[in-house]
């Protein structure tokens, strides 16, 4: 199996693993929200932190949509650089988010994981999508 053809399933599996972990955190975010708060917190503080975490998780799901559209449309499926970048950051995000979930890390750490492991590959995917479809010359 060549390097390109082995990157495609690895990339798909790491993106899927990251997506499943984000959905799991979305469903069971109560413990993570409580980890972000002091021992004596008000309902308003809880709702504020919960809203911030819901926004972060929603942004992550939106970035998954961008990346999966580019992947399934074939724009970046066989691009080695994007495949390697995406595989590395999504595998890292999966490990980091498992620690985030089980060790109940502070919610501010989620934003770092979001920027490094979701925004970066989605931005590169968007650039590739624009390069392939946006810069294509139309025949007259």
Q: Say if CB 8 and CB 86 are below 8 A apart.
A: no
Give first-to-last CA distance, the chain, whole Å. 41
Asked if residue 50 has pLDDT above 90, the reply is: yes
Question: What stretch of H or E contains 54?
Answer: helix 43-72
Instruction: Report pLDDT for 132.
Output: 86
At 2 the pLDDT is 65
Within a domain: 9: yes
| Position 67 in a domain | yes
For 5, other C-beta atoms within 10 Å of its C-beta total 9
Q: What is the pTM of this model?
A: 0.88
Q: In this structure, is residue 140 part of a structural domain? A: no
Average pLDDT over residues 44-66: 95
- HSE, side-chain direction, 13 A CA sphere, residue 136: 9
Residue 63's pLDDT band (cuts 50, 70, 90): very high
Question: Which DSSP state fits 37?
Answer: S
Is it the case that residue 89 has pLDDT exceeding 60? yes
- Tally of domains within the chain: 1
* 138 found inside a domain: no
The per-residue pLDDT of the chain, averaged, comes to 91
For residue 136, being part of any structural domain is answered with no
> Which of 34, 60, 31 is CA-nearest to residue 48?
34
In a domain, 84, yes or no: yes
Give the gyration radius of the chain's Cα atoms.
17
Residue 139 forms part of a structural domain: no
Q: How far apart are CA 54 and CA 90, in angstroms?
A: 20
**Any residues with CB less than 8 A from the CB of 100 and at least 6 apart, and which?**
25, 32, 109, 110, 113
| Structural domain span for residue 11 | 3-131
State residue 122's pLDDT score.
95
| Percentages (nearest 5) of helix, strand, coil residues in the chain | 80, 0, 20
pLDDT confidence of 117, banded at 50, 70, 90?
very high
In a domain, residue 125? The reply is yes
Query: What pLDDT is attached to residue 138?
Result: 59
Residue carrying the six token digits 């750490």:
109
Q: What is the pLDDT of residue 43?
A: 94
């Amino acid at each position: 199996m060549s390097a390109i053809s082995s990157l495609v399933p690895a990339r798909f599996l790491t993106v899927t693993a990251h997506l499943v972990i984000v959905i799991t955190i979305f469903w069971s975010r109560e413990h993570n929200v409580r980890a972000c708060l002091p021992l004596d917190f008000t309902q308003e503080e809880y709702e504020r932190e919960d809203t911030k975490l819901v926004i972060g998780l929603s942004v992550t799901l939106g970035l998954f949509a961008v990346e999966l559209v580019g992947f399934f449309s074939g724009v970046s499926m066989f691009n080695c650089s994007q495949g390697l970048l995406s595989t590395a950051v999504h595998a890292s995000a999966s490990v980091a988010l498992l620690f985030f979930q089980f060790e109940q890390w502070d919610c501010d750490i989620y934003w770092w994981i979001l920027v490094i492991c979701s925004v970066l590959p989605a931005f590169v995917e968007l650039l590739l999508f624009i390069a392939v479809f946006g810069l294509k010359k139309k025949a007259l």
